[in-house]
Structure 1
Amino acid sequence: MPWETYRADVSIDLTKHHVPKTFLDKVAYRTVKLLRIPTDIFFQRRYGCRAMMLETVAAVPGMVGGMLLHLRSLRKFEQSGGWIKALLEEAENERMHLMTMVELVQPKWYERLLVLTVQGVFFNAFFVLYLLSPKLAHRVVGYLEEEAIHSYTEFLKDIDSGRIKNIPAPAIAIDYWRLPKDATLKDVITVIRADEAHHRDVNHFASDIHFQGKELRESPAPVGYR
């Protein structure tokens, strides 16, 4: 099972940014920046709650993309180049981020209600978007992951400054990332941020493939991050 063998690559480059060049790139970039405005207003510097909400959204694209590629593979009797597995693993990884954040944050009832609303809207919107333009869908996710890296970096700054207490890591995180038994919240956020950087690279790469007029099956998925 994934959580029995998972390893995070914390050496990954956190500073990479895909400069929007095409019209669709600019649409994706500006859409993500627009979506960040209400998030910043609502959560401000409550990064634990922000991360919980972020992960309920971040776990959707991989599942939607993997599902649609799976169905296409069945219809056309063709291989996916490993992309189905890669996207579903991304969804599972993001789900484990959420399970970890729930242990840390203990969301209130109205935050849970907000999660239901946001997930319902985002799932259907992303499903339609992926049907219409996989290139745009993957680019949106790539930029969402860039924002996630920024948010987790700010989270770490607040831990380092003492604004957020560096509590012991929850057991679910220690087991999933194979962290030391004495791991702390800072260790957990560090590996989650590294995961988001990997998802950023994978989704920008997937969008670039479509930009080149290729199908995902024609370009194998990047090597996993375990």
Structure 2
Amino acid sequence: MAVSISSNMASGVLLPAPFFKKGKDLRFSSLQCNSGSPIRLSNCASNPRFSRKRLFQVQATILQEDDEKVLVEKSFDPKSFPEKEREGTPGSSTDDSPSSSGFEKWIIKLEQSVNIFLTDSVIKILDTLYHDRHYARFYVLETIARVPYFAFMSVLHMYESFGWWRRADYLKVHFAESWNEMHHLLIMEELGGNSWWFDRFLAQHIAVFYYFMTACMYALSPRMAYHFSECVESHAFETYDKFIKTQREELKRLPAPAVAVRYYTEGDLYLFDEFQTSRPPNSRRPKIENLYDVFLNIRDDEAEHCKTMKACQTHGTLRSPHSYPDSTWEDDDSGCVLPEADCEGIVDCIKKSVRDPPANKR
């Protein structure tokens, strides 16, 4: 398996703005930030596709295996953010003073430092308990990885019940993500990853604690919750990537679980397309011939989760892949799509519910 990693390879690559997020120079495992070039944003006036076609320069890591490339986005240095990035966005604050910008960057650094500390702590525990027990480790990872999406949907339903906001695209995408992670879990169970009671006990109890922690985090700071999920998904990507590199020949000799064949190749693949917000529907159709193909596609799924979690950190830009006409993915003349009026976090929701009369809400 040939792997090519270059921090300068994508210095001239232009990516869509939903993958832009506020963050700091991060280093967790092998994923790290290299955003030395200034970010260039176009506005709605110069580019009619505001929500998906704002472009900027980034440096990314491209993992190449044979002829297939998997792109995993990285977190950016907050010093590189345009101080007036949110200027002109509906619902954004007009206070762009240096003190306000500096305080926001400090909050972002604090949030991400806490997330990285928590992620690294869990990784050390898993490394100690599951050094050579791969399928059991994957079972624990997948039991934990699907929990945040349940938490996100719970908080979004709460907001909707209170009449604070309604955003169907977020609910659709998060449900599709949980559906994908559930099938990863079913695959690991079919491979025997849950055969020992201790593994089931550990994974399920961590998941319960993780749910309430993520729900509280998401209510207070959606950006922080999405970044934490990005860290978890990044670790999952690296874990599977390392596994298929070291076990490639053995995995190619083993048959694929039936549940994997059904999920990736049979039936309606609407939900499979739905969580991959960086690509148009029907653009990825996996082949499953052996167990190696299964783990290769699970790894690629985790890379797509990373991209979606990064897109969510820029508030109001996430949209379902099926929300766009087919021509939108190819044509730049689709019109300016503005973010919906909503709120970010429970504090913002309460403030707007008190400030804005119900008649003025969309």
Given candidates 193, 206, 209, the residue that maps to 1:118 is: 206
TM-score normalised by structure 2 residue count: 0.52
Counterpart Cα distance in 2 of 1:114 and 1:77? 37
When residues 208 and 25 of structure 1 are mapped into structure 2, their CA distance, relative to the original with a 3 A threshold, is farther
Higher relative contact order (CA 8 A, sep 6+): 1
Q: Give 1:17's aligned amino acid.
A: K
Displacement of 1:12: 6.1
Structure-to-structure mapping, 1:124-203, within 5 angstroms? 124-160=212-248, 162=250, 166-178=253-265, 183-203=289-309
| Offset of residue 27 of structure 1 | 2.5
Work out whether residues 152 and 189 of structure 1, in 8 Å CA contact, stay in contact via their aligned partners in 2: yes
Counterpart secondary structure, 2:174: helix
Identify which of 121, 124, 130 aligns with 1:37. 124
Letter in 1 for 2:127: D
Q: State the distance in 2 between where 1:125 and 1:115 align.
A: 15
Deviates more, 1:172-181 or 1:124-133: 172-181
| Distance change >3 Å, CA 125–CA 166, structure 1 → 2 | farther
Counterparts in 2 of 1:61 and 1:103: CA distance versus 1, 3 Å: same
CA distance 1:106–1:165, change in 2 (3 Å): farther
Aligned to 2:74: 17
3-state DSSP class of the match of 2:313? helix
Q: 1:45 to 1:132 in 2, by over 3 A?
A: same
Q: Quick check: 2:138–2:193 contact (8 Å CA) kept in 1?
A: no
State the shift of 1:152 in Å: 0.3
**C-alpha distance in structure 2 between counterparts of 1:130 and 1:182, whole Å:** 36
1:86 to 166, 173, 177: 173
Question: Aligned to 2:162, what secondary structure does the other structure show?
Answer: helix
Structure 1 residue aligned with 2:269: none
TM-align CA RMSD: 2.4
Matched, 1:95 2:95: no
Q: Does structure 2 conserve the Cα–Cα contact (< 8 Å) formed by 1:12 and 1:197?
A: no
TM-score using structure 1 length: 0.81
**What letter corresponds to residue 207 of structure 2 in structure 1?**
Q
The CA distance in 2 between the partners of 1:74 and 1:182, in whole Å, is 42
Letter in 2 for 1:64: A
> Cα offset for 1:143?
1.1
Q: Using a 3 Å threshold, how does the CA distance of structure 1 residues 161 and 175 change in structure 2: closer, same or farther?
A: closer
Structure 2 Cα separation of the partners of residues 177 and 189 of structure 1: 12
User: Could you say what secondary structure the match of 2:319 adopts?
Assistant: coil
Structure number with the higher helix fraction is: 1
Higher strand share: 2
3-state DSSP class of the match of 2:70? coil
Deviates more, 1:75-84 or 1:38-47: 75-84
Structure 1: gaps spanning 5 or more residues: 1-9, 210-215
The percentage of counterpart residues that share the same residue type is: 26
Q: Which consecutive aligned stretches of 4+ in structure 1 deviate over 4 angstroms post-superposition?
A: 179-182
CA distance in 2, matches of 1:81, 1:11: 33
* Equivalent position to 1:54, from 134, 141, 164: 141
SS at the partner of 1:13?
strand
AA paired with 2:298? I
2-structure distance, mates of 1:58, 1:151: 13
Aligned mates of 2:68, 2:164 — CA distance in 1 = 38
Displacement of 1:29 in angstroms is 2.5
Aligned to 2:319: 221
Q: 1:171 to 1:73 in 2, by over 3 A?
A: same
